Structure 1
Amino acid sequence: MTKLQQVITETELAEAVKEKYLLKFGSENPEEIRVFRSPGRINLIGEHTDYNNGFVLPASVDKAVYFVISPRADDRVILYASDLDETYSFSLSDLSKPEQSWPHYQIGIVEQIHKKGLKIGGFQAAFGGNVPVGAGLSSSAALECCLLFALNELFELKLDRLTIVKMAQKAENEYVGVQCGIMDQFASAFGKNESVIRLDCRSLEYEYFPFPMDDYLIVLCDTMVKHSLASSEYNTRRLECEKGTQILQKYDSSILSLRDTNPEFVELHREELGDVVYRRCKFITEEIRRVQDACNLLIDGDLPAFGNKMYETHQGLQHEYEVSCPELDFLVQQTIRNEAVLGSRMMGGGFGGCTINLVKKEAVPSFEIEMKKAYLDQYQIDLPCYKVKITDGTEEIRIVG
């Protein structure tokens, strides 16, 4: 897909949401209607390192949420979920949680604005997009960043991009009740075309690294499964990392998280850590180092070696961190003898979701056919595949006419 085709596709999506806005709210005061876009995200390398204060390597992609929005003269907020054809309305003075779950994200954003002591008026908005829900592309973070960015522009709140990111994360933590890290919102807001972001999850310092997409595409293969272990095992992994940190801290008081140590030091204390905690600490310290090594490979333009790092990550997630599942392992295994695939691994928290694959552009159609057939034969499940390109982050879109 050329850059021009991508722009046309995104414009068409934005126009489709605007058309639904006009059908819902009418076209009075057209000069006040504005359109915003915020993308979903992928993470190339750096899994489960965020809550260990390590590095991650995300990028924003050409699957996005679009808000078409305008101010109102009263204190009402009217939200229209165009993909669901559902409406929810509330007053700015009543942010109580509705039974419907989808408005929680938007109300959470309004609550964060109130908590900052900022004032906004009522508004009406239609939103929709093409971020697959449940595939691990963080559609919720895209939605939160898009609305807050839009309200920041609409009501001249003068929030900078990092503040928007932190408030969007807080909305999900405090109102929605999901204890996500900051990576998803950060990648959605700070994305840059054909670049990945190395984000330091401790300091929030970040740096862009080139990820040229001339010869390769990123293809996500969605297992369509989510095993029930996901949330409980996620919490267990966090506790195991904390336990490892406490043990290692006895030998070096400067170790406040696994970010502060390395695989060699973990190896020294293998016996005291015990088998399970040792393997968790080994993976995390290696993965933090792997992100940094991968960035050096991008500087060198060595994508085949970068792809090998992706395979290393999957091996660690499968055997040491133990957050993979048979379906994910099967999909990664299918790629190993395929010369058109540079790298493949599970992406996200684990126990389901997508694999992320770096594939030579000309081989993508045959890759998808082979993967779909293999998965259908093995699991009797139709395998959705999403081709994604790395694009810019949250922004306002100008639609002519």
Structure 2
Amino acid sequence: MIYKIQEEFQKRFGEGAVCYASPGRVNLIGDHTDYNLGFVLPGAIDKAIYVAIRPVEGTVCRLYSMDYGESLELDMTGSLPEKLWARFIYGVVQEMKKRGAEVGAFECVFGGDVPLGAGLSSSAALESVFGYALNDLFSLGFSRADLARIGQMTEHNYVGVKCGIMDEFASLFGQRGKVIRLDCRSLEYELVPFEPAGCRVMLVDSMVKHSLASSEYNVRREQSEAGVAVVAKHVKGVESLRDVTMDMLDTYKDEMEPVVYRRCAYVIQENLRLLEGCDFLKRGDYKAFGQKMFGSHEGLSREYEVSCAELDFIEEIARKTPGMLGARMMGGGFGGCVIHLVEEQAHDAYLDEVKSRFQARFGQIPRVIDVVIGDGARKLA
């Protein structure tokens, strides 16, 4: 992909481009915990958005998207562009300027191999690659944490998505052979070893679009906050579910709706699963970690109720497959992918079975994406 981008740049703009990459991400465990100020465990992957870019004089940037086959001249002192993909780039520049940076004009060609619509955060990879590239090209002095916040605020202010910071953080901080235990309250993080010898990480796409995800996301957030409000009436210092234990929740269970109790219980238990899972990874016990993945799916499906028939069907097959260490739905829910940790020797037979049975049940063959935990945003030689 990067060679195609370089060739396209030379054809359109000539020589002198500098190239950068920033990856998509997976999340091994910990979904719907981020906005409750809990923990997540993402890792950067070996699929990325790439950009070939060169500074130019003036205020007008010339952009070409390989994925969409579209070009655009964009004045960064002008108004918000209509094209969605351009808003990510425009937003990064504007957020940098808000922080006092002097961002010059540029011309670029960009594209990637992050599968679209699979929940691998291609948008965060796009924000991160432009943030990293512009920071380097114009010597702006932002840290990687600054760039993650710039990407998050781009989503909030120019795209209209009130996302957490996990996706951008993983894209910028990822390291090969390690996953990131991120504290979503403090943004403190720890790189945890993840090198499961003889195993593969893969995703099986449910082929279901997230049609309910936006509205139901807001409902789940309100339910979580309702549980916090009940406990906070009795316990000082409780500001989020991060501050609530299961003992607290059980003590005041009768004061909240049953559905609120279930939502809160999932979040508290998911944080515990994640922390225990990190301990297993440090000991190299991937089988025990995989059981935490299965537990996560059960909680997301039964307590948080953000799964769907297709996701549950895939996970059920995985759970019964010899050599499958762990599997869980990944992301906001109501569609998207199931992430698997599977022994190499079981990989091909499992794929044959899940494709065949899924097609017989739902009438289509699921997309399969194999990934490797890789490096975060970087300048390419």
TM-score (norm 2): 0.98
Q: 2:297 aligns with which of 301, 307, 314?
A: 314
Match of 2:10 in 1: 22
Q: Is the 8 A contact 1:213 1:389 kept in 2?
A: no
Distance, in Å, in 2 between the alignment partners of 1:228 and 1:152 is 36
Letter in 1 for 2:178: S
Q: 1:248 aligns with which of 207, 215, 231?
A: 231
Alignment of 1:246-325 (within 5 A): 246-325=229-308
Distance, in Å, in 1 between the alignment partners of 2:353 and 2:62 is 45
Q: 2:25 aligns with which of 41, 57, 76?
A: 41
Q: Is the 8 A contact 2:297 2:329 kept in 1?
A: yes
Match of 1:376 in 2: 359
| SS state at 1:37 partner | strand
Shift of 1:100: 1.8
Match of 1:3 in 2: none
Match of 2:318 in 1: 335
Shift of 1:83: 1.8
Q: 1:183 aligns with which of 160, 163, 166?
A: 166
Q: 1:223 aligns with which of 206, 209, 230?
A: 206
Shift of 1:385: 0.4
| SS state at 1:102 partner | helix
Match of 2:77 in 1: 93
| SS state at 1:202 partner | coil
Shift of 1:24: 2.0
Letter in 1 for 2:286: L
Letter in 1 for 2:102: K
| SS state at 1:164 partner | helix
Q: Is the 8 A contact 2:238 2:244 kept in 1?
A: yes
- Which string of whole-angstrom CA distances, capped at 9 and with x for unpartnered residues, describes residues 182-241 of structure 1? 000000000011111100000000001111142111110111112422111100000000
Letter in 1 for 2:220: R
Shift of 1:365: 2.1
Letter in 1 for 2:71: T
Q: Is the 8 A contact 1:141 1:188 kept in 2?
A: yes
Match of 1:73 in 2: 57
| SS state at 1:204 partner | coil
Q: Is the 8 A contact 1:347 1:355 kept in 2?
A: yes
Letter in 2 for 1:93: T
Moved more, 346-355 or 120-129: 120-129
Q: Is the 8 A contact 2:196 2:286 kept in 1?
A: no
Match of 1:63 in 2: 47
Letter in 2 for 1:312: G
Letter in 2 for 1:60: A
Distance, in Å, in 1 between the alignment partners of 2:253 and 2:264 is 10
Q: 2:133 aligns with which of 140, 150, 155?
A: 150
TM-score (norm 1): 0.93
Q: Is the 8 A contact 2:37 2:241 kept in 1?
A: yes
Q: Is the 8 A contact 2:199 2:343 kept in 1?
A: yes
Distance, in Å, in 2 between the alignment partners of 1:227 and 1:65 is 23
- Return closer, same or farther for 1:310/1:98 CA change in 2, 3 Å cut-off: same
Unaligned runs of 5+ in 1: 1-12
Shift of 1:374: 1.4
Q: Is the 8 A contact 2:61 2:105 kept in 1?
A: yes
Moved more, 96-105 or 49-58: 96-105
- Which string of whole-angstrom CA distances, capped at 9 and with x for unpartnered residues, describes residues 342-387 of structure 1? 0011000000000000011232222222211111111112211000
Shift of 1:73: 2.1
Match of 1:121 in 2: 104
| SS state at 2:365 partner | coil
Unaligned runs of 5+ in 2: none
Kindly report the root-mean-square deviation, in angstroms, between the aligned alpha carbons of the 2 structures: 1.0
Distance, in Å, in 2 between the alignment partners of 1:287 and 1:346 is 13
Q: Is the 8 A contact 1:169 1:185 kept in 2?
A: yes
Match of 2:146 in 1: 163
Shift of 1:80: 0.5
- Which string of whole-angstrom CA distances, capped at 9 and with x for unpartnered residues, describes residues 24-54 of structure 1? 2223xx3xx1110000011111110000110
Shift of 1:331: 0.6
Shift of 1:117: 1.9
Structure 1 residue 130 corresponds to structure 2 residue 113? yes
Distance, in Å, in 2 between the alignment partners of 1:88 and 1:262 is 52
Q: What is the aligned length?
A: 381
Letter in 1 for 2:253: R
Alignment of 1:1-20 (within 5 A): 13-20=1-8
Identical-pair percentage: 45
Distance, in Å, in 2 between the alignment partners of 1:369 and 1:35 is 39
